[in-house]
C-alpha cells in the first residue's frame, strides 16, 4: 500500500490540509485504490502548504500546494506512483522532498524529525533516533549530564540567551526534597511558531528533553505551561504524554532506572507577560501573573518556592540531540559565543515563509532573500522586526548583520526567539511605534510605574505625532519616556518596549515628521 | 444562587471544583474547565471556588480578571479571534479587522445580534507564516480576507 503524507500541523490545517486529506481518501476509495494515509507534521515550507508527500523507493516525493480540487487530477496523473513520468509532469510535482533546495541547505538538528514522522507515534519517534539521548543520560551522573549541556554551549532560546547548563547547575546544587522542571511554552512573540511546531509535530522530543532535565537535577515533576491559543498542541502533547507513560518513558521507574519523572500540561490564559519566567511561575501557582522581584532566582526559589528549571521549548527540545551526539557535535555549529543552531521563523510580508534551522552566523539578508524570496507583495522590504514585539526594527542598511546574539547586541537589537517579521515600503513606522506602546499597555502586569503609566503615556504622545503636532518636541518626549522605561522597569516588557520605539525613530525618522538630525538630538 | 445557570451547569461546576480542590496551583485549570463547559466564569460561583480552594473571593476575582482569556459574562455560540500582532499587520490585518467588524456590525468584545458570534482581538496565533490569521472556535485560518472570513462564518455558524 502506498503511503501518502498530509500534515496535521495547525498552519497546514489553516490552509486547508484537512480537506485535502479527506479529498485524497475519498478519491482513493472511489477508484478502489488502497492507500495508507499518514498525518505527519509540517516540513516547515509553509508557503507551499498543504504539501502532500508520496513514499517511493527513492524517498518521499512532494506535491504542493494541494487543494481538494487538485486531487482528481493528481490521481489521473498516477501521483501515487510518484516516480512515473505522468506524476513528474503534473504541475504540482516538486520532486524528492529532501532534495528541495530550501530544505536541503538547512541544518536541522532540533527539527530533524519535524515533518518527517507521525507526531504521536512513539514507534516512529524511536525509529528516528528518538530516546537515544535519554538512554545515554540514564547511564550518567546528574553532574555529567549538566556538564554535557554546559559544554554544548546551548543558550536559552526563549529570548534572554542565558547558558542552559549554568542554570541547570544551580538547580542541581540547590538542596531540596522537591524540584521542578517547567517548560515555557507561552510563545507569545509575533512572528514565532517554532515552539508550536515542536509541540504539534514532534512532541516526544520535548518530553524527552524535560525528562533528561529532571533526571539531571533530581526533579520529579514537570509542567508545560502552554499558551491557550494552541489547542492542537494541547491535544498532541497530552496524547504523547499518555503514550510515554504507558511505554515506561515517563512516570515511575523510567526504563527500569528507578528514576521518576511526571509530566503535566497546564494551560495559560492569554497574558503575554506570563511568558516572563517569574510571572509564569505565579500563574502556575494559580495566582495573577505579577512579575516577581529577583533575586531569588527561580533556580533557587521557583515554583512553590522550590528550585526550578524554567526553559523554553526549543532549549529543552535541543537537549536530546546533545545527549545523543555529544556536546562537541552541537558546539561545532555556530559562531562566536552563539553555539549550535537556531530555528528561525520567517513571517510577515515574505514570499516564502516558514521554518529555517541554521547554524548561527547566516545573515539576515540571506534569510530574507535566499530563503524568504523577498516580499510577498513584490515591493521593497523596508523594515524587519527581529525577536518579537520587544525587538528592534532593522532598516536595509543592517540586513548584513549575522544572526548571532552578540552581533545583534552590538547594533542595539535582539535575536530573541528567532522570529523575523518583514514589512514592505507601505509600512508606517510611527504606527508601529504606537502599536508597541499599545501592546505594552494592554499586556503590562501593572507592578511597576514606568511600564504601567509609561506605555499609556507613549500611546498619547504617538497620537500627537501622528496628528502632526509639534514633532520635534514630542520625539524628545518619547526619548525621555523610553529612557525611564529602559532604566526603571522590573522586567523586559516595560524595559524593552523602547527597542521597537527608538529603533523606529532612529532608522525611520521621516515617519515621525523629523529629519535624521532632529531625531538624533 | 445564580438563576442564569441551569441545574446541569451547576452540577458540572461543582464537579470541577471538587476535582481541582487539591491540585497544586489548581485555580487556573479549574477556571479553564468551567469556561470550557459553560462558556464563561460566572461571578456567582466565586464564593464556592474560594471556599474549596481556601482563597478569598477577592483573590479569585483578581485571577479571573487578570487573564484576557477568562470571561465573566456569556458570549456568542462561536468565537472569532482576529490577530492584531505585527506579522499579521505586515499582511494587512488592519484592513481585515475593520472590514470584518463592519460586515458583522460589531466591535471587539461584542456579539452579533443573533447571538451566534463574539469577536475578540488576539495577539498572535502562531500562524504568522500565513498572515493575516484568524481563529474561529478552535481552528486557525491563514491568509484571510474579509470575504473568506464571511464564508467561514457562514459554514461554521450557520451551516
Ligand atoms: C514579557 C516577557 C515575555 C516572555 N515570553 C517568553 C515566552 O513566551 N517564551 C519563553 O520561552 N520565554 C519568554 N520570556 C523569557 C523568559 O523570561 C525566560 O528567560 C525563559 O523562559 C528562560 O528559558 P530559556 O533560558 O530556555 O530561554 C519572556 C520574557 C519577558 C520579559
Ligand atoms: S515592566 Fe511591566 S510587565 Fe514587567 S513587571 Fe513592570 S509592570 Fe509588570
Ligand atoms: S502575528 Fe498573527 S498569527 Fe502571529
* pLDDT digit string, tens, across residues A101-124: 999 999 999 999 999 999 999 999
Alpha-carbon gap, residue B83 to A256, rounded angstroms? 47
Protein fold of A2-104? Glutaredoxin (3.40.30)
What is the rounded CA–CA span in Å between residue A514 and residue A432?
A: 16
Q: Is the peptide bond before A383 cis (omega within 30 degrees of 0)?
A: no
Contact present, B128 and A196 (Cβ < 8 Å): no
Name the DSSP class of A99.
G
User: Which residues on A lie below 8 Å from B81 (Cβ)?
Assistant: 229
Mean pLDDT, chain B, whole residue set: 96
DSSP string, A340-354: SEEEEEEEES-SS-E
Q: Which of A190, A352, A367, A441 to probe by mutation at the B interface, max B CB count within 10 Å? A: A190
Residues of B in contact with A355 (CB under 8 A): 129
What chain B holds in terms of domains, given with CATH numbers, is 7-66 (no CATH), 78-157 (3.40.30.10)
From the CB of B127, is ligand 3 less than 6 Å away? Answer: yes
Q: How far is CA A495 from the centre of its chain?
A: 22
Per-residue confidence (pLDDT) for residue A519, from 0 to 100: 73
Reduced to 3 states, what is the DSSP secondary structure of residue A253? Answer: coil
What confidence category does residue A521 fall into, taking pLDDT thresholds of 50, 70 and 90?
low
Q: Read off the pLDDT of residues A237-280 as tens digits, 9 standing for 90 and up.
A: 999 999 999 999 999 999 999 999 999 999 999 999 999 999 99
Q: In sequence order, which residues have a C-beta less than 8 Å from that of residue A201 and are 6 or more positions away?
A: A7, A9, A40, A41, A42, A114, A115, A119
CA nearest A149: which of A84, A229, A209?
A: A209
Local structure of B78: helix, strand or coil: strand
- Residue A182: closest CA among A292, A309, A302: A309
Distance CA A222, CA B87 (A): 32
Let me know how long chain B is.
159
* Cβ contact A365:A399 at 8 Å: yes
Tell the CATH topology of A429-520: de novo design (two linked rop proteins) (1.20.1440)
User: What distance in angstroms lies between residue A267's CA and the mean position of ligand 3's atoms?
Assistant: 19
Instruction: Give dist(CA A352, CA A376) in Å, integer.
Output: 8
Delimit the domains of chain A by residue range: 2-104, 122-331, 334-424, 429-520
pLDDT of B3 reads 64
Q: Give dist(CA A345, CA A183) in Å, integer.
A: 20
CATH: 1.10.287.470, 3.90.850.10, 2.40.50.1020, 3.40.50.11540. Which one for A122-331?
Answer: 3.40.50.11540
Q: Average pLDDT in the A87-96 region?
A: 98
Q: Residues B100, B149: contact at Cβ < 8 Å?
A: yes
- For A268, the closest chain B residue by CA position comes to B28
CA distance A47 to chain B (A): 7
- B96 ligand 3 Cβ < 6 A: no
Give the C-alpha separation, A429 to A435, whole Å.
10
Mean pLDDT confidence for B148-153: 96
Question: Positive or negative CA dihedral for B54, B55, B57, B61?
Answer: negative
Assess contact for A53 and A46: CB atoms under 8 A.
no
What is the rounded radius of gyration, in angstroms, for the C-alpha atoms of chain B?
A: 18
Q: What is the helix (H) or strand (E) element at residue A262, kind and residue range?
A: strand A262-267
How big is chain A, counted in residues?
A: 521
Contacts of A397 (CB under 8 A, 6+ apart): A507
CA distance A252 to A493: 39
Reported as half-sphere exposure (CB side, CA atoms, 13 A), residue B75 has a value of 23
The pLDDT score that the predictor gives to residue B2 is 58
Q: Determine the distance separating the centroid of ligand 3 and the alpha carbon of B78, expressed in angstroms.
A: 20
Contacts with B126 from chain A: Cβ below 8 Å: 10-11, 187, 192-193, 195-196, 227, 229-230
Average pLDDT over residues A158-171: 97
Grid cell at residue A141: 551522573
Residue-wise DSSP of A441-510: HHH--SSSHHHHHHHHHHHHHHHHHHTT--HHHHHHHHHHHHHHHHHH-SSHHHHHTHHHHHHHHHH-GG
- Count CB-CB contacts under 10 A for residue A400: 11
Write the DSSP string, A128-163: TTTTHHHHHHHTS-HHHHHHHHHHHT-B-TTTT--B
Q: What percent of chain A has pLDDT over 90?
A: 98
d(CA A248, CA A237): 16
Q: Are A279 and A225 in contact (CB under 8 A)?
A: no
Q: Find the helix or strand (DSSP H, E) in which A3 lies.
A: strand A2-5
pLDDT of res. B1? 47
pLDDT score for B68: 96
Instruction: Answer for the pair A425, A379: CB distance below 8 angstroms, yes or no.
Output: yes
Residue B120 pLDDT grade (very low, low, confident, very high; cuts 50, 70, 90)? very high
Identify the pLDDT of residue B158.
Answer: 78
What is the pLDDT confidence band of residue A442, given thresholds at 50, 70 and 90?
very high
Q: Taking Cα atoms as reference points, which of A63, A78, A80, A113 lies closest to residue A1?
A: A80
Q: What is the pLDDT of residues A295-335, one digit of tens each?
A: 999 999 999 999 999 999 999 999 999 999 999 999 999 99
Q: pLDDT class for B143, splitting at 50, 70, 90?
A: very high
**pLDDT recorded at residue A469:** 86
pLDDT surpasses 90 at A518: no
Task: Give the separation between CA A173 and CA A182, rounded to whole angstroms.
Answer: 17
A451 lines ligand 2 (CB under 6 A): yes
Secondary structure element (H or E) that encloses residue A382, with its range:
strand A381-386
Cell of B15: 464537579
Q: Which residues of B touch A279 (CB under 8 A)?
A: none
The Å distance, Cα A188 to ligand 1 centre, comes to: 9
C-alpha cell at A503: 529603533
The CATH number that domain A334-424 falls under is 3.10.20.600
pLDDT greater than 60 at residue A62? yes
- Candidates B56, B79, B128: best to mutate against A (most CBs of A within 10 A) is B128
Q: What is the DSSP letter of A292?
A: P
Name the phi and psi angles at B158, rounded to 5: -125, 5
Mean pLDDT of chain A: 97
pLDDT for residue A75 is more than 50? yes
B109 contact A CB<8A: no
Amino acid at each position: 500500500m502506498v503511503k501518502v503524507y498530509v500534515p496535521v500541523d495547525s498552519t497546514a490545517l489553516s490552509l486547508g490540509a484537512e480537506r485535502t486529506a479527506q479529498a485524497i481518501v475519498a478519491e482513493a476509495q472511489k477508484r478502489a485504490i488502497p492507500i495508507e494515509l499518514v498525518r505527519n507534521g509540517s516540513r516547515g515550507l509553509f508557503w507551499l502548504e498543504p504539501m502532500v508527500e508520496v513514499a517511493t523507493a527513492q524517498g518521499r516525493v512532494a506535491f504542493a500546494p494541494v487543494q481538494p480540487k487538485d486531487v482528481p487530477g493528481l490521481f489521473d496523473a498516477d501521483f501515487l506512483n510518484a516516480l512515473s513520468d505522468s506524476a513528474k509532469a503534473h504541475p504540482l510535482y516538486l520532486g524528492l522532498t529532501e532534495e528541495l533546495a530550501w530544505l536541503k541547505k538547512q541544518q536541522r538538528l532540533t527539527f530533524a524529525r519535524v515533518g518527517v514522522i507521525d507526531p504521536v507515534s512513539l514507534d516512529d519517534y524511536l525509529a528516528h533516533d528518538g530516546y537515544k539521548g535519554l538512554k545515554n543520560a540514564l547511564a550518567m551522573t546528574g553532574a555529567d549530564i549538566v556538564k554535557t549541556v554546559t559544554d554544548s554551549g546551548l543558550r536559552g532560546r526563549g529570548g534572554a540567551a542565558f547558558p542552559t547548563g549554568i542554570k541547570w547547575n544551580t538547580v542541581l546544587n540547590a538542596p531540596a526534597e522537591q524540584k521542578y522542571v517547567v517548560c515555557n511554552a507561552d510563545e507569545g512573540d509575533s512572528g514565532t511558531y517554532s515552539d508550536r511546531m515542536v509541540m504539534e509535530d514532534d512532541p516526544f522530543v520535548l518530553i524527552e528533553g524535560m525528562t533528561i532535565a529532571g533526571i539531571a537535577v533530581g526533579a520529579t515533576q514537570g509542567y508545560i505551561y502552554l499558551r491557550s491559543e494552541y489547542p492542537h498542541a494541547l491535544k498532541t502533547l497530552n496524547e504523547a504524554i499518555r503514550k510515554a507513560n504507558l511505554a515506561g518513558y515517563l512516570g515511575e521507574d523510567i526504563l527500569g532506572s528507578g528514576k521518576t519523572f511526571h509530566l503535566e500540561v497546564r494551560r495559560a490564559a492569554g497574558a503575554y507577560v506570563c511568558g516572563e519566567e517569574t510571572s509564569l511561575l505565579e500563574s502556575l501557582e494559580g495566582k495573577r501573573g505579577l512579575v516577581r522581584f529577583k533575586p531569588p532566582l527561580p533556580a533557587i526559589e521557583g515554583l512553590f518556592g522550590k528550585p526550578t528549571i524554567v526553559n523554553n521549548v526549543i532549549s529543552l527540545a535541543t537537549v536530546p540531540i546533545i545527549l545523543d551526539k555529544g556536546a562537541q557535535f552541537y558546539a561545532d555549529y555556530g559562531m562566536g559565543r552563539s553555539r549550535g543552531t537556531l530555528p528561525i521563523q520567517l513571517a510577515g510580508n515574505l514570499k516564502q515563509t516558514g521554518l529555517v534551522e541554521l547554524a548561527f552566523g547566516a545573515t539576515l539578508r540571506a534569510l530574507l532573500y535566499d530563503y524568504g524570496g523577498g516580499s510577498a507583495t513584490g515591493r521593497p522590504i523596508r523594515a524587519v522586526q527581529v525577536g518579537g514585539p520587544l525587538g528592534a526594527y532593522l532598516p536595509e542598511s543592517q540586513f548584513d548583520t549575522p544572526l548571532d546574539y552578540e552581533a545583534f547586541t552590538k547594533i542595539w537589537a535582539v535575536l530573541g526567539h528567532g522570529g523575523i517579521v518583514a514589512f514592505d515600503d507601505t509600512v508606517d513606522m510611527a504606527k508601529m511605534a504606537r502599536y508597541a506602546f499599545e501592546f505594552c499597555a494592554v499586556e503590562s502586569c501593572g507592578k511597576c510605574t514606568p511600564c504601567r503609566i509609561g506605555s499609556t503615556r507613549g500611546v498619547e504622545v504617538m497620537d500627537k505625532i501622528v496628528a502632526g503636532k509639534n514633532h520635534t518636541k514630542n520625539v524628545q518626549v518619547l526619548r525621555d519616556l523610553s529612557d525611564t522605561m529602559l532604566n526603571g522597569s522590573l522586567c523586559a516588557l516595560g524595559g524593552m518596549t523602547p527597542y521597537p520605539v527608538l529603533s523606529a525613530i532612529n532608522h525611520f525618522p521621516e515617519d515621525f515628521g523629523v529629519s535624521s538630525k532632529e531625531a538624533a538630538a | 444562587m445564580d438563576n442564569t445557570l441551569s441545574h446541569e451547569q451547576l452540577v458540572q461546576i461543582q464537579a470541577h471544583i471538587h476535582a481541582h480542590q487539591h491540585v497544586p496551583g489548581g485555580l487556573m485549570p479549574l477556571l479553564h474547565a468551567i469556561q470550557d463547559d459553560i462558556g464563561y466564569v460566572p461571578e456567582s460561583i466565586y464564593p464556592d471556588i474560594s471556599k474549596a480552594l481556601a482563597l478569598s473571593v477577592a483573590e479569585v476575582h483578581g485571577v479571573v480578571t487578570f487573564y484576557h482569556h477568562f470571561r465573566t459574562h456569556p458570549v456568542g455560540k462561536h468565537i472569532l479571534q482576529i490577530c492584531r500582532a505585527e506579522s499579521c499587520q505586515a499582511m494587512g490585518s488592519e484592513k481585515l479587522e475593520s472590514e470584518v467588524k463592519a460586515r458583522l456590525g460589531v466591535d471587539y468584545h461584542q456579539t452579533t445580534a443573533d447571538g451566534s458570534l463574539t469577536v475578540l482581538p488576539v495577539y498572535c496565533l502562531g500562524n504568522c507564516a500565513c498572515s493575516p490569521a484568524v481563529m474561529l472556535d478552535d481552528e486557525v485560518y491563514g491568509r484571510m480576507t474579509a470575504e473568506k472570513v464571511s464564508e467561514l462564518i457562514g459554514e461554521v455558524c450557520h451551516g
